[in-house]
Amino acid sequence: MPQETFLEFRKTYPTFTYERYTIERVGTRVKLTFYFSIDGLCTFAPTTEIETANLTVLNDPESETAQAIVFALGMTELVSYWKAACPPTVVVRCGHLSDWDKRFWKRLYYRGLSEFFYRNGIDTDESDFMELVCDPNPTPSPTAEYHSAGLHILPVGGGKDSCVTAALLKDEGAKNLFFTVNDQKARTDTVLAAGYTEDAMLRTYRVIDKNLLSLNSQGFLNGHTPFSAIVAFLSYYCAYLVGARDIVLSNESSANESNIAGTEVNHQYSKSYAFECDFAKYAERNLLPEIRYFSLLRPFSELQIAKQFAGLGQFHETFRSCNRGSKQNIWCAKCAKCLFVFSILSPFMEYDRLCALFGADMLDDTDLLADFDGLCGFSEVKPFECVGTTAEIVFALKKTAQKFQNEGRTLPALLRHFTETAGTGVDENLLLEYEPRNNVPDEFLPAIKEMYTYVSKDC
């Protein structure tokens, strides 16, 4: 039935159009509006605003370069609206796309929607799911002079990864600006715990068009989209405004692993090394060579990041990465993401302290057995969340089980289930790994060496 629905929608609504975008200055904010339509169904006009009251804006928000970046941000936004009916043709009326550009966007859409296609039971392929049609006249290359302040833009989500990056770059001080999309307390708390004031925050506000939410309620298609790609282009536009040199991400090597073994279905595609490299190439070809986009934590796994984070007590009370509890600034302690974070930290933190932070002993909650088995690789599908590899979670849980046994403590129910299924022997030390496929510039290598020294000691 889902495949039939997909095909029926495509027949009924054959065309999606990216009409235009606008850039306005509204008080202390820069407001971006994108105009899309599914022909014969409805229109959309989502907005994003950038607060500049606490910033020094060095580059014109409406220059040719700015427009090239905003156009690309609109190309990224459109897939969230396209997916409602998946029209086979996308018409781009406000910009030109080279053949290389078309391949870039189709690759991002198709791979970034891999979970969406899988969970909706849609059978399609990268060549046929969409045709991009655009203005045939090439767009002039951006020519505006770029004024640089040498700043670093650090995207912050409030979880352990961005806390680690903030700590590693503490010596950069005034060069660091912390980028957020929509306010959440954990994001501000991360910045404050890192020793900065709120003036060091670069805040943006993204609003989804209500027409999309209405379509979802009517039974049109819905699902996961490559949100981190939106972060990429939006942070790039902000970096341009303030004259930043670097956009420093906190994506780990674990993001490269698929959720279903033997497939390319990856919840985290737009956090992967493949997308990072593609984005850098797109920016170099179409935007600015002066701004670098890379992940400082790409050489490391979720396991190694967890060990580093465990030593950063200033962040323990305030970090959050639970999607369900984000608006209440809590760990719900009932989802796969909470279970993963709890489990990956369990070898490195005092266990009772960890239970207190989450408000529950998550490894004793048998209601989470299905998610637990997915995380451990005991079942076919890894939970569709930003989580580490099965090898990392198995390593972490074996270490935790050893701690319990050494202390003579009774194993929690899920940990007992784990030891009965996987055993307790640790075959390799994943804390000694280093992922050489990364784009970390040489001047950031001292921070990498500092972290590797810490996570590999006592191994």
Asked whether the predicted pLDDT for residue 1 surpasses 70, the reply is no
Whether residue 432 lies inside any domain: the answer is no
Q: Mean pLDDT across the stretch 224-244?
A: 97
Q: Is residue 438 part of a domain?
A: no
CB 251 within 8 A of CB 160: no
Residue 105 and residue 209 in one domain:
yes
Residues 279 and 293 sit within 8 Å (Cβ to Cβ)? yes
Are 286 and 412 in the same domain?
no
Q: Angle between the 369-376 and 336-345 helix axes, to the nearest 10 degrees? A: 60
441, part of any domain? no
For residues 203-227, give the mean pLDDT: 97
CA distances to 15, 16, 37, 113, 135 from 130, in Å: 10, 10, 16, 12, 17
Domain match, 410 and 362 both = yes
Residues 398 and 279 in one domain: no
Q: What is the pLDDT of residue 415?
A: 97
Q: Which domain holds residue 243?
A: 2-139+146-295
| Residue at 434 is within a domain | no
Which pLDDT band, with edges at 50, 70 and 90, does 428 fall under?
confident
> Do 367 and 357 form a contact (C-beta atoms < 8 A)?
no
How do beta strands 15-26 and 89-92 pair? parallel
Does pLDDT of 140 surpass 80?
no
166-179 tens-digit pLDDT: 999 999 999 999 99
pLDDT at 138: 76
Do 248 and 352 fall into the same domain? Answer: no
Both 160 and 261 in a single domain? Answer: yes
Domain count, the chain: 2
Residue-wise pLDDT for 105-116, tens only, equals 999 999 999 999
Based on the fold, state whether residues 263 and 196 are members of the same structural domain. yes
Confidence label for 262 from pLDDT (cuts 50, 70 and 90)? confident
In 8-167, at which residue ranges do the beta strands (DSSP E only) sit?
A: 15-26, 29-38, 42-44, 47-51, 89-92, 131-134, 151-155
Query: Please, where are the H alpha helices in 359-434?
Result: 369-376, 390-406, 413-422
Q: Is residue 215 part of a domain?
A: yes
The CA–CA distances, whole Å, from 9 to 4, 29, 40, 99, 405 equal 9, 38, 11, 27, 56
Residues 134 and 16 in one domain: yes
For residue 440, being part of any structural domain is answered with no
Query: In the structure, what pLDDT confidence band is assigned to residue 424 with cuts at 50, 70 and 90?
Result: low
What is the pTM (predicted TM-score) of this model? 0.96
Mean pLDDT taken over the chain:
95
Q: Which amino acid is at 172?
A: E
Domain assignment present for residue 435? The answer is: no
Q: Does residue 426 surpass a pLDDT of 80? A: no
pLDDT over threshold 80, residue 403:
yes
25 part of a folded domain: yes
Q: Are residues 127 and 264 in the same domain?
A: yes
Please report where in the chains the tokens 């020294």 appear, as a residue. Answer: 453
91 beta partners = 17, 133
